[in-house]
Structure 1
Amino acid sequence: MINENNMLVRDGVSLKYIDSGESRGMPLVLIHGIADSWHAFELLLPYLDKSIRIIAPTLRGHGDSDKPESGYDSKEMADDVSELLNKLTFEKAVVLGASSGGLVARSIALRYPEKVSGLILVGSPLELCKNPNLRQLYDNEISKFGDEVDKDFVKGFVSGLSGTNVPSGFIEMMTEETMKMPSWVWKEYTASLLAERVPENISDINVPCLIIWGGKDEITGRSDQEEYARLIRDSRLKIHEGLGHMLYWEYPEAVADDINEFMHEMV
């Protein structure tokens, strides 16, 4: 059963989040990427082990969470999620970051190591400051947004990420979710992603880390994943050669198997 709730975290910002699975199970926090919401994990959730306690927040500025004027970088969002965990009285949790949500997840691991028992990065970039496609998208379109975001842009953005074998109804639902992100959030969050670099202390992450990546991912490269595996000492890299960036949309069963195995090892 999925319970959807709101939680006031800090600075007057309230986050929408879901709470699912075994109430006494090991907590797994799912953090979505830019323009998504907790709904990005809907295809994955049915395949996650029912013994896991799943918390999936919608980050500030996204979906049905509050949309303040500022605070759109990975550190601010990490602080939000950390406070959510405090309010839920979790001592430790495994934190999963998908796509750009991986930057938030690793920031939690670095800023609040006492709260993190494990880290999972799914299709996560090492950094985006050198990504020519995101830079072009920002310079040519996002930075020029007016008060409203064009729905054709959003449709193209979601469809471009989706890859193959993703149900059309799910893509339509995620398009509607993405439309909830205001133009100023698009601008601020994308600009922060383009400015963020690999943390100098990333090697301080000292918990088991699972890195999951699709071999057809054209947004995050293989070299990023290999560098993550080199920088984070207790890490392993699992590659699904036939899948793309949103591999947990394309083949959620396989990604869930990876996550479930990792979670069972953490017990």
Structure 2
Amino acid sequence: MQIADLDGTRLHYRIDGDPSGAPLLFINSLGTDFRLWDPILPHLPPGLRIIRYDKRGHGLSDCPPAPYAMGTLVRDAEQLLELLDVKDAMVVGLSIGGMIAQGLAVKRLDLVRALVLSNTGAKIGTRDLWDERIATARENGVAALAQGTMERWFSRDYLTRPELSLWRNMFERTPLEGFTGCAAAIKGTDFYTPTSGLRLPTLGIAGSEDGGTPPDLVRETVDLIPGSRFELIRRAGHLPCVEKPQAYAALLTDFLKETGHV
């Protein structure tokens, strides 16, 4: 367990794999911490420097008062890579993590040599939708959103599995300020124009049963970047790295090889 002090906000991060390997940065979704990526790690090839961190307001990172701006979340990722002396990373972002990845690539292309945009969009939902979720969380707690969130996040098959409780508990324990802060960042973000200016290798991944960021949204987003590729994981929802870790890792491994990053 390591802590990065970034302008007074402390972020919890972890590095696995080869300390001198090609850097691979993972950025997780709203309501999860970096354990989101645990299921796929055993299936990734050797020779990678795997970097994960908890966004502000999540996991063991600091939780400043809401709201947060997307630019602040992008700056957190940027400063972490600078602190670790990382350039030319492949950045894998899921949901809000994919939005942060887009913003980071637009701002600091020297830090990002390839993108994996998983279960995300250039814009996710509407301002009214996020205002409603923020209000519900403020009034009744984050747990009041758990049932609907699980139904959007997971396939029908996974909803019956005992492991669902792991992700529901993680979601419900997200600090109120962290959840509402990041929800506000999503609400205020529309990356259609900046993302359409990107020119770098990009892989899009969607789950066929994703009720949060449906496959068409993911495809529309990655299609903004010329030469990008889109892959659909069937019988998986918003977190295919959890439901289908081997299939997800296989897509990443192929993309790592295609881009010469492993």
TM-score (normalizing by structure 2): 0.88
Partner residue in 2 for 1:85: 81
Stretch deviating more after TM superposition (198-207 or 153-162): 153-162
Give the aligned residue type for 1:37: D
Is the 8 Å Cα contact of residues 196 and 224 (structure 2) preserved in structure 1? Answer: yes
Stretch deviating more after TM superposition (224-233 or 249-258): 224-233
CA–CA separation in structure 2 for the residues paired with 1:156 and 1:130: 17
SS, match of residue 49 in structure 1: coil
CA–CA separation in structure 2 for the residues paired with 1:264 and 1:28: 13
Structure 1 residue 237 displacement after superposition: 0.7
Identity within the alignment, %: 24
Residue 237 of structure 2 is aligned with which of 229, 244, 258?
244
Structure 1 residue 154 displacement after superposition: 3.3
Partner residue in 2 for 1:52: 48
Structure 1 segments unaligned to the other structure (5+ residues): none
Distance 1:243 1:178, change over 3 A: closer
CA–CA separation in structure 2 for the residues paired with 1:240 and 1:86: 33
CA–CA separation in structure 1 for the residues paired with 2:160 and 2:73: 30
Distance 1:109 1:21, change over 3 A: same
Distance 1:152 1:194, change over 3 A: closer
Partner residue in 2 for 1:8: 5
Structure 1 residue 40 displacement after superposition: 1.0
Deviation sequence 1:39-95 (CA, Å, 0-9, x none):
111112221112211101100011110011246232211111111111111122000
Count of residue pairs the alignment pairs up: 259
Stretch deviating more after TM superposition (54-63 or 231-240): 231-240
Partner residue in 2 for 1:104: 100
SS, match of residue 200 in structure 1: helix
Partner residue in 2 for 1:65: 61
Is the 8 Å Cα contact of residues 148 and 182 (structure 1) preserved in structure 2? Answer: no
Give the aligned residue type for 2:104: I
Stretch deviating more after TM superposition (250-259 or 235-244): 235-244
CA–CA separation in structure 2 for the residues paired with 1:167 and 1:221: 21
CA–CA separation in structure 2 for the residues paired with 1:230 and 1:160: 24
CA–CA separation in structure 2 for the residues paired with 1:93 and 1:109: 10
Distance 1:196 1:146, change over 3 A: closer
Structure 1 residue 175 displacement after superposition: 3.3
Give the aligned residue type for 1:243: A
Give the aligned residue type for 2:16: S
CA–CA separation in structure 1 for the residues paired with 2:162 and 2:78: 33
Is the 8 Å Cα contact of residues 162 and 249 (structure 1) preserved in structure 2? Answer: no
Is the 8 Å Cα contact of residues 69 and 188 (structure 2) preserved in structure 1? Answer: no
Give the aligned residue type for 1:87: L
Residue 154 of structure 1 is aligned with which of 138, 146, 160?
146
Structure 2 segments unaligned to the other structure (5+ residues): none
CA–CA separation in structure 1 for the residues paired with 2:136 and 2:237: 29
Residue 232 of structure 1 is aligned with which of 225, 229, 237?
225
Partner residue in 2 for 1:192: 185
TM-score (normalizing by structure 1): 0.87
Stretch deviating more after TM superposition (150-159 or 69-78): 150-159
